[in-house]
Amino acid sequence: MQVWRLIGFYTCDVLVVGAGPAGSIAASIVAKKGFKTILCEEHKMVGRPCHCTGKLSVHAFREFNLPKDSILNSVKAAKLYSPGGFKLDIRKDSVDSYIIDRELFDSRLSDLACSRGADLLLRTRVYDVEREFETHVILKARKDGSPVRLRSRLIIDAEGATPILPGKFGLRPVSDLLLGVQYEISGIQFESPDSVELYFNRIFAPGFFAWIVPLSECMARVGLCVRRSMATSPINQYIDRFIRMLIDRGRLRDFKVEKVLAGVEPAGPYISPSYSDNIMVVGDSAGHVKPTSGGGIYFGLKAAKLAGETAVKCLDKMNVSKWQLRVYEDEWVRAFGRELNVTFLLRRILNSLTDDEVDRLIRKMSEWDIKSVVERYGDTAYQSKVIFPLIPRFLKRSLEKLDDISLLARIAAEGFLALIT
């Protein structure tokens, strides 16, 4: 085997492309079952550069054996700021999410994959594929700048938001992206650092929102995403506007920017099919991200687990055709497909509203005591859970005033349009 490697030729049963959380979890499941697994990552270190705020639902820690030493803070509340500056406080009784150190989190997960037998190839960027009969594929990559070839029976593609491989297998890519930028700031003050702050305003976050996520009493991640198709300025101008607004409102005074990061993530909708002969696509690469909040780690982990388990079954049967691999998509759709569909619909409605309408909506949520429903049923990971209990209250209260009926009608019309187009 070493001789082949010396001439740049690698063979395996499963090649996982991308050592983010999704790739590492998929690799660890397949490797644990004794299949020869290679996990390749283009960067020289797993987890770097980081491109994430690291807010992860408690469900993820309950469901997966995740590294607890990566937890920096826990949050149970959110403050929603309307475009006009109105604040809606939502607080749950128990912890809803953890804020994690993504670099440590990713590197611990790849360590787990390696400890189970996966072979991690760093500085290895896959760029092309060719088929070898029906049973194998050969991926072309550059490792440390030199060309290498990787022969595998099956590929699990976990390349993140801008993948190369799905298109090469004839799979449709995710059509729109969120562009994100974030500062890690010291010197910011929190009364209690268990509440995230979300700011809605097209001036600094068209198609999404800006955030302050506390790490401690005096440290925070301050950032935003904009939807690429709605952005009209470079991303640095949006974060400048947001920071200026926070300074003007007295939210930021003596602060220091400790770290800057930028990244992209899929804005949905997810890809379907997410598999073809010899390949399954997981995580951001498949659009497994909630379009409302941009959270992609948890569903990426779930998809990766299902892909890993499907891989094991199909390799046992010596059949990795698309007819066998389609089980993977059936299962992830059952697990969180509804959630992605509902949040995509909500995001389309929100993006169609003007800042004035979003302002009214957030004020009404407070006036109608909708926040108590959100506090009771709200769940970062499964946001659709709150929709059905909200509908009757929303209908009842908005029908009481003519002015409010118009807002309801706008939302209903946009929802209907989103459903039929």
The tokens 């009214």 sit on which residue?
A: 360
Task: Give residue 42's identity as a one-letter amino acid code.
Answer: E
- List the one residue from 114, 126, 239, 307 that touches ligand FAD (CB under 6 A): 126
Question: Residue 159's closest CA among 300, 33, 54?
Answer: 300
Tell me the angle at which helices 370-377 and 387-398 cross, rounded to the nearest 10 degrees.
Answer: 170
Q: How far is the CB of 313 from ligand FAD (least distance, A)?
A: 22
Applying CB under 6 A, does 56 fall inside the site for ligand FAD? yes
Nearer to ligand FAD, 164 or 387 (CB): 164
Biggest distance spanned by C-alpha atoms of the chain = 78
**Per-residue binding letters, 69-108, with ligand FAD (x by CB under 6 A):** ----------------------------------------
Q: How far is the CB of 308 from ligand FAD (least distance, A)?
A: 13
How many of the other CB atoms lie within 10 Å of CB of 280? Answer: 33
- List the one residue from 12, 14, 22, 315 that touches ligand FAD (CB under 6 A): 22
Q: How far apart are CA 11 and CA 6, in angstroms?
A: 13
Q: How far is the CB of 211 from ligand FAD (least distance, A)?
A: 8
The answer for residues whose C-beta is within 8 angstroms of residue 319's C-beta and 6 or more apart is: none
Nearer to ligand FAD, 281 or 362 (CB): 281
Q: How far is the CB of 122 from ligand FAD (least distance, A)?
A: 9
Nearer to ligand FAD, 260 or 405 (CB): 260
Q: How far apart are CA 205 and CA 230, in angstroms?
A: 9
Q: Do residues 268 and 173 touch, judged by C-beta distance below 8 A?
A: no
Q: How far is the CB of 158 from ligand FAD (least distance, A)?
A: 5
Q: How far apart are CA 348 and CA 420, in angstroms?
A: 12
281-310: contacts with ligand FAD (CB under 6 A): 283-285, 289, 294-298, 300
Applying CB under 6 A, does 125 fall inside the site for ligand FAD? yes
The tokens 């079952």 sit on which residue?
A: 33
Question: Residue 83's closest CA among 359, 349, 361?
Answer: 359
Judged by CB under 6 A, which stretch of 27-35, 48-56, 148-156, 328-336 contacts ligand FAD? 48-56
Which helix (H) or strand (E) covers residue 139, if one does?
A: strand 136-143
DSSP 8-state code for residue 291: T
- List the one residue from 77, 138, 164, 335 that touches ligand FAD (CB under 6 A): 164
Under DSSP, is residue 420 helix (H, G, I), strand (E, B) or coil? helix
Q: How far is the CB of 108 from ligand FAD (least distance, A)?
A: 14
Nearer to ligand FAD, 51 or 251 (CB): 51
Q: How far is the CB of 34 from ligand FAD (least distance, A)?
A: 24
Q: Do residues 224 and 265 touch, judged by C-beta distance below 8 A?
A: no
Applying CB under 6 A, does 201 fall inside the site for ligand FAD? no
> In the structure encoding, which two tokens stand for residue 124, read together?
């290895």
Q: 36 - beta bridge partners?
A: none
Q: Do residues 126 and 169 touch, judged by C-beta distance below 8 A?
A: no
**Per-residue binding letters, 241-280, with ligand FAD (x by CB under 6 A):** ----------------------xxx---------------
Q: How far is the CB of 402 from ligand FAD (least distance, A)?
A: 40
How many of the other CB atoms lie within 10 Å of CB of 140? Answer: 14
Q: How far is the CB of 415 from ligand FAD (least distance, A)?
A: 25
Applying CB under 6 A, does 223 fall inside the site for ligand FAD? yes
354-413: contacts with ligand FAD (CB under 6 A): none
Applying CB under 6 A, does 54 fall inside the site for ligand FAD? yes
Task: Give residue 161's identity as a one-letter amino acid code.
Answer: A
Applying CB under 6 A, does 23 fall inside the site for ligand FAD? yes
Q: How far is the CB of 250 from ligand FAD (least distance, A)?
A: 25
Q: State how far Cα 58 lies from the chain centre.
A: 15
Question: Residue numbers of the site for ligand FAD (CB under 6 A)?
Answer: 17-23, 40-43, 51-56, 125-126, 158-160, 164, 180, 182, 223, 225, 263-265, 283-285, 289, 294-298, 300
